[in-house]
Structure 1
Amino acid sequence: MPEPGESRALRTAAVLPVRGHGAMLDAVMACLRAQSVTLDEVVVVDDAPVPTLGPVEGATVVPSHGAGPYAARNVGVAATDADVVFFLDARSRPRPEWVERTLERFADAQVGIVGSDTLVRGGTSLAERASEVQQFSRLDKYVANPFFLPYLPTCNLAVRRSDFDAVDGFSSVRSGGDADLCWRLQRTTGHRLDVVPDVLMEWVPRDAARQLLEQNYRYGKSHHGLRRDWSGRGLDVVPPLPGWRLAARTGRAVLRFGAAVPRGRDAQAEQFVALAGVCFDWGYWRAHRRGRAGTAA
């Protein structure tokens, strides 16, 4: 392990999975090329079932054949021999000091995971405005007030490669693999999670309202999955609200959103965030129901 002050001797790589976002690659690659400290490698993982990406300037492209976002990241890590691996996605827009200031934290040999604050950008569509209000990736949701152990999202995450290998990388799940990885790293290696408290990453939200609602529904399902998988390790499985109460909440949220329409864009965005929260709760409810049905079977 490096001594303090030797962080720049560490070999670095960024792993970027892509599926259906090829058009966004130019922007994120431009951000990576503008870093104040140059990455040694960039690995773009083409996760389409049938690879569609051609060569990407400044990156190695490897296929993962539709394995899913976390399995694709494992494929990307396997393609590099870096000491520190940076994770981001096609919607990530790292600021120029992202690599430099994140890498500095690995000078401490007891640090195994590093991230910084992430700012979700706004836009003109309802979904973009609501995402800007929601700010789902701010540090207070992951580190300052975590629901279990602290963790960081894979749109803005760096890990020590030896630690990553020690836990066999990401679990092959659709959502929630970032929390699971960070928790296993902390429990297995004893290394801690550290953060740069400044915004070093911006993130481009989805522009379709349905996609934002589906994202929150998926997050609800993964939240339940995390609680289930970690239930024997200190995390309780909290029962969801009854279906009738969720239905009532849904109705109220829809009515409030309708009432907000005449009040302008800001009011609409705030009430759409409430609708997204209801979708999260429905995702949690659905996963809980399926878990009970599987147990009964």
Structure 2
Amino acid sequence: MAAVIPVRGHAALLDGVLQALAAQTRPVDRLAVVDDSPEPALRLAPPAEVVHSGGVGPYAARNLGVASVDSDVVLFLDARSRPRPGWVERTLERFADPGVGIVGSDTLVRGGRSLAERASEVQQFSRLDKYLSAPFFLPYLPTCNLAVRRADFTAVEGFSTVRSGGDADLCWRVQRATGHRLEAIDEVLMEWIPRDRARELLEQNFRYGKSHHGLRREWSSRGLTVVEPLPAWRLAVRSGRAALRFARSLTAGPDARARDFVPLAGACFDWGYWVAHHREPAGAVAPQQDAQAS
């Protein structure tokens, strides 16, 4: 069993995830850290093995990481992941069932002192309910806390080399192609360190909106509806209301400011979806007119 961690621009966070892996009750057999910087820069001591990918992007980097190891099960994390001590052992146990192809556990986003960290703690975008109990298509798990049977990963030729959304796409293709199921451990075995800058959190949500539209378009021929986004004027009104609400909270405490920042992040998601929809190529699938982007 191997762990693969892509990293680019977050090398300062890497020590935390490596220390957490070293504290596992069941150590990984192989550890591939993929340095996705354009110029090779990362140097690590064994047992970590550094793979230099040259700036190909996070999902292509993960593919290269998998290619560098030969384990039957591959665990994916990122530099912000902080697995609790039993994560590896409890995850690996689920693969004793030959019908299981994908495993993950619940993930808790940590808080912090900054507005972005507090808002991310409120948002909790990595909790299982967002991926399993209320999925917008097939269930999936994020790559900050994801394990895949290598044979299944190889059967679908790995991750699609997109900027965002490759985790959902991989999980869906594995379930469709192999018939193996996704199994989740309904317990927090992973914590995640959020971004500490408000602008980065807004950009993250904007990117998620774009990838959400891309997934819908990519999977439209297989049953996923391409949803019509809200008109720009309605998005502008919604964004304005969210901005006004946040402005009013500036005189309140940090918890209130964080709570009222979350709708701004949601508005960025909606704008990302809107932008992706209006930039889609000619001849793309027509959207359903009776639905709205979430």
Aligned pair 1:235/2:224, yes or no?
A: yes
Deviations 1:141-188 (A, max 9, x none): 001110100000000000000000000000000000000000000000
Give per-residue Cα distances to partners, 1:61-119, cap 9 Å, x unaligned: 01111000000000000000000000000000000000000011000000000000000
Task: Please show how residues 244-259 of structure 1 align to structure 2 within 5 Å.
Answer: 244-259=233-248
More off after superposition, 21-30 vs 123-132: 21-30
Residue 3 (structure 1) aligns with: none
Q: CA RMSD in A?
A: 1.1
- 1:57 deviation in Å? 3.6
Match of 2:288 in 1: none
1:54: how far off?
A: 1.3
Amino acid at match of 1:105: R
Partner of 2:7: 18
Q: CA deviation at 1:56?
A: 3.5
Equivalent residue number for residue 31 of structure 2: 42
Q: Which has the larger displacement, 264-273 or 111-120?
A: 264-273
Q: TM-score, normalised by structure 2?
A: 0.95
C-alpha distance in structure 2 between counterparts of 1:264 and 1:177, whole Å: 37
Structure 2 CA distance, aligned partners of 1:76 and 1:294?
36
- Residues 1:78 and 2:98 aligned together: no
Equivalent in the alignment of 2:51 = 62
Residues in 2 aligned to 1:149 and 1:136: alpha-carbon distance in whole angstroms: 17
**1:179-218 alignment, distance < 5 Å:** 179-218=168-207
CA displacement at 1:55 relative to structure 2: 2.6
Q: Residue in 2 aligned with 1:133?
A: 122
Higher helix share: 1
- For residue 272 of structure 1, what is the aligned residue in structure 2? 261
Structure 2 runs not aligned, ≥5 long = 286-294
Tell me the CA shift for residue 262 of structure 1: 1.6
The runs of at least 4 consecutive aligned structure 1 residues that moved more than 6 Å come to none
Paired residue type of 2:43: G
- Please give the TM-score of this superposition, normalised by the length of structure 1: 0.94
In structure 2, distance between residues paired with 1:58 and 1:22: 17
Number of matched pairs: 285
- Between the aligned partners of 2:190 and 2:19, the Cα distance in structure 1 is 14
Which sections of structure 1, spanning at least 5 residues, go unmatched?
1-11
Counterparts of 1:72 and 1:44, CA distance in 2: 9
User: Equivalents in 2 of 1:56, 1:151: separation in Å?
Assistant: 33
Alpha-carbon distance between aligned partners in 2 of 1:106 and 1:200, rounded to the nearest angstrom? 16
One-letter identity of the residue aligned with 2:62: R
Whole-Å separation in 2 of the counterparts to 1:220 and 1:150: 18
Q: Which amino acid aligns with 2:59?
A: Y
Identity of aligned residues (%): 72
Whether 2:158 is the aligned partner of 1:164: answer no
